[in-house]
Amino acid sequence: MSEVSQTGTASAAPVRVALLGGGTVGAAVARALLQHPDRYAARLGAPVELLGVAVRDTTRVREGIPADLLTDDPHALAQDADVIVELMGGLEPAGELIEAALRRGAQVVSANKQLLTRRGVELQALAQEHGAGLHHEAAVMAAVPVLAVVRESLAGDEITRIRGIVNGSTNYVLDLVAREGVPFADAVRQAGELGYLEADPTEDLEGLDAAAKIALLARTAWDVPAPPDEVDVTGISGLTDADFAAAAEQGGVLKLVASAERGADGAVRCAVRPEVLPAEDPLARTRGGTNLVELDTVLAGPVTLVGAGAGGDETASAVLGDLVRAGLAVARR
Ligand SMILES: NC(=O)C1=CN([C@@H]2O[C@H](COP(=O)(O)OP(=O)(O)OC[C@H]3O[C@@H](n4cnc5c(N)ncnc54)[C@H](O)[C@@H]3O)[C@@H](O)[C@H]2O)C=CC1
Ligand SMILES: N[C@@H](CC=O)C(=O)O
């Protein structure tokens, strides 16, 4: 039987959360949970208990996170949690940790687009089979709730085409080089300092991160396999000063554009490539780490979503939204 706490929130058994990863995004999630316990208790109707934060280096000081919460053993941390929040990145050990959690009926939140685009269908099936949950809004366009809109809000409509800027770091780099004349390598370094780049920055620069995201969007929109390896990808690492100069001469703007379209034959084609866009195109006006996506639909016409596409706090917003959904599923049991 739950009691009413001082904050007026019904206090029930705590929702036990294991945070796997304490880097750019994980640290922002931990800080939010530790600094605003009443906010999450009120939304869940139960307190959140942060069991620990798994990191590679437990000796590094992480602002706002008590050292005694840090562990370098994600498997031990995850085994008794009601919710695991996977923010480590990479295919393994993230994959085996998520799989084990789903098999025992736990709720899982992940922002790991590379893993989800490769194993998302299998992992969702596993979640369903075991009465578990797999939530991954932050995996595409970080703070912008595009998966929820495609999956839920537009479920009664038909999406015909998706086109957008879905990678924050490369947009930041292209913007800085084109508008401020910053050398390409310096712009990449700055994107890293802002926490926008993947642990392996070639994922961003070679277009692989954007490819994973457009594949996830296509799968969500059309319920097709959309393997990331079938996306036609060109990144931005091959762009030269001459390419930027040529774009400016035409009055255009270089952008890394991701697109997905379903043809009359039902086949879905996804592409990621640099394009010179006319200055008045909404994608051309998308600045810094911002992402923008246009969803063309049969009934609603064009629907545009825009917002922060990378960064610790920005991505934490989407992760925490999923954590509330996951926590509610636990609290309802
Ligand atoms: N940084 C961003 O703007 C966004 C990141 N994401 C995704 O969120 C996830 C996390 O990204 P970031 O926080 O930027 O990465 P990060 O590299 O800053 O942090 C990764 C964390 O995981 C820990 N870790 C990795 N492998 C480990 C292991 N085997 N054992 C223990 N700890 C381990 C690291 O020590 C570190 O604390 C990735 O999947 C990324 O693609 C998604 C949207 C935006
Ligand atoms: N590296 C990614 C981070 C968010 O997904 C990006 O630059 O968009």
pLDDT in tens, 167-196: 999 999 999 999 999 999 999 999 999 999
The C-alpha atoms of residue 118 and residue 228 are separated, in whole angstroms, by 7
In this structure, are 64 and 46 located in the same domain? yes
Checking if the pLDDT of 204 tops 50, the result is yes
Mutational test site, ligand 1, from 84, 88, 320, max ligand atoms within 8 Å of CB: 88
> Which residue, among 117, 161, 144, has the nearest Cα to 292 in the 3D structure?
144
Q: Supply the DSSP string of 197-217, one letter for each residue.
A: S-SSTHHHHTTHHHHHHHHHH
The C-alpha atoms of residue 7 and residue 232 are separated, in whole angstroms, by 53
In this structure, are 117 and 48 located in the same domain? yes
Under 8 Å between Cβ of 162 and 293: yes
Does 311 contact ligand 2 (Cβ within 6 A)?
no
How far, CA to CA in Å, does 128 sit from each of 31, 79, 122, 123, 205?
31, 19, 10, 9, 35
- Which amino acid, 118? R
Token pair in block for residue 9: 């929130």
Token pair in block for residue 269: 């084609």
- Which amino acid, 181? G
Stretch (H or E) spanning 313:
helix 312-332
Q: What is the pLDDT of residue 332?
A: 84
The C-alpha atoms of residue 331 and residue 254 are separated, in whole angstroms, by 48
255 classed as catalytic? no
| C-alpha 26, offset from chain centre | 12
What is the distance in A from the centroid of ligand 2 to the CA of 321?
A: 18
In this structure, are 99 and 186 located in the same domain? no
The C-alpha atoms of residue 150 and residue 217 are separated, in whole angstroms, by 8
71 is in an annotated binding site: no
In this structure, are 191 and 303 located in the same domain? yes
Under 8 Å between Cβ of 253 and 284: yes
Count the domains in the chain.
2
Checking if the pLDDT of 4 tops 50, the result is no
In this structure, are 195 and 216 located in the same domain? yes
Token pair in block for residue 39: 């906010």
Under 8 Å between Cβ of 186 and 298: no
Q: What is the pLDDT of residue 8?
A: 42
Q: What is the pLDDT of residue 333?
A: 81
Checking if the pLDDT of 128 tops 80, the result is yes
Predicted confidence (pLDDT) per residue in 229-265, tens digit: 999 999 999 999 999 999 999 999 999 999 999 988 8
Under 8 Å between Cβ of 142 and 116: no
Q: What is the pLDDT of residue 11?
A: 58
| C-alpha 222, offset from chain centre | 19
198 is in an annotated binding site: yes
In this structure, are 153 and 302 located in the same domain? yes
Segment 25-44 mean pLDDT? 97
Under 8 Å CB-to-CB from 3, ≥6 apart: which residues? 10, 11
Residue linked to tokens 């839920």: 152
In this structure, are 178 and 93 located in the same domain? no
In this structure, are 205 and 154 located in the same domain? yes
What is the distance in A from the centroid of ligand 1 to the CA of 87?
A: 5
Q: Which ligand is nearest to the CA of 256?
A: 2
pTM: 0.96
Mean pLDDT over each residue of the chain, to the nearest integer: 95
Pick the catalytic residue from 213, 219, 262, 325: 213
Under 8 Å between Cβ of 83 and 18: yes
Strand positions, DSSP E, 55-201: 70-71, 83-86, 107-110, 133-135, 159-165
Nearest protein CA to atom 4 of ligand 2, as residue: 310
Does 198 contact ligand 2 (Cβ within 6 A)?
yes
In this structure, are 151 and 271 located in the same domain? yes
| Neighbouring C-beta atoms of residue 90, cutoff 10 Å | 15
| Neighbouring C-beta atoms of residue 264, cutoff 10 Å | 5
Under 8 Å between Cβ of 243 and 254: yes
Residue linked to tokens 């009465």: 131
Checking if the pLDDT of 9 tops 80, the result is no
CATH number at residue 87: 3.40.50.720
What is the distance in A from the centroid of ligand 1 to the CA of 34?
A: 19
In this structure, are 105 and 189 located in the same domain? no
The C-alpha atoms of residue 85 and residue 74 are separated, in whole angstroms, by 11
Q: Which domain holds residue 40?
A: 3-142+314-332
Q: What is the pLDDT of residue 271?
A: 98
Strand positions, DSSP E, 217-289: 232-233, 252-262, 268-278
The binding-site residues of ligand 1, defined as CB within 6 angstroms of any ligand atom, are 21-26, 54-56, 72, 74, 87-89, 93, 111-113, 138, 142, 195-196, 198-199, 310-311, 315
Q: Using N-to-C axis directions, what is the helix angle for 241-249 and 168-180, rounded to 10°?
A: 70
Q: What dihedral do alpha carbons 111, 112, 113, 114 form, nearest 10°?
A: 170
In this structure, are 225 and 248 located in the same domain? yes
* pLDDT grade for 1, boundaries at 50, 70 and 90: very low
The C-alpha atoms of residue 244 and residue 263 are separated, in whole angstroms, by 32
Instruction: Say what percent of the chain tops pLDDT 90.
Output: 93
Mutational test site, ligand 2, from 24, 112, 144, 169, max ligand atoms within 8 Å of CB: 169
CATH number at residue 176: 3.30.360.10
Does 142 contact ligand 2 (Cβ within 6 A)?
yes
In this structure, are 328 and 289 located in the same domain? no
